Amino acid sequence: MNIQIHEFAEGPIAELNSDQVLINTAEDGTDLVGNMYFQGLDKVILHQKNISPAFFELQNGLAGEVLQKFTNYRIRLVIVGQFTHLESRSLRDFILESNQGNQVNFVSSLQDAISRLRD
């Protein structure tokens, strides 16, 4: 995993990049949160390609467990990907609701992610 730090007056934003899936299990999410917290990073960008497709199947609870960890540690997370083609109504509703707040957001571009985290 490569952590690219984007520096801004509002504080650093960590963008995680990898050729592999970073979150396959709830434990992976916990490890990632711990890593970010230990490094003092509280704004994180994660790409959809680095998250298991199981994360986006809300009924299995993986997303809830992982996102709760980010929330508990007050680490803001923006997931960058293409979410317009989603078939699951519950997932679409979850994304819309999340995007109304500022703790967890889902956007389509890196620029949108940075803008969200700079607010």
Tens of pLDDT, residues 2-49: 999 999 999 999 999 999 999 999 999 999 999 999 999 999 999 999
**Full domain range(s) for residue 6:** 2-118
What is the reported pTM?
A: 0.95
pLDDT tens track for 62-113: 999 999 999 999 999 999 999 888 788 999 999 999 999 999 999 999 999 9
Q: What is the pLDDT of residue 86?
A: 79
Question: What does the DSSP assignment read for the chain?
Answer: -EEEEEP-TT--EEEEE-SS-SBSSHHHHHHHHHHHHHTT--EEEEEGGGB-GGGG-GGGSHHHHHHHHHHHTT-EEEEES--TT---HHHHHHHHHHTTSSSEEEESSHHHHHHHHH-
Supply the CATH number for residue 58's domain.
3.30.750
Question: Domain total for the chain?
Answer: 1
* pLDDT average, residue stretch 46-62: 95
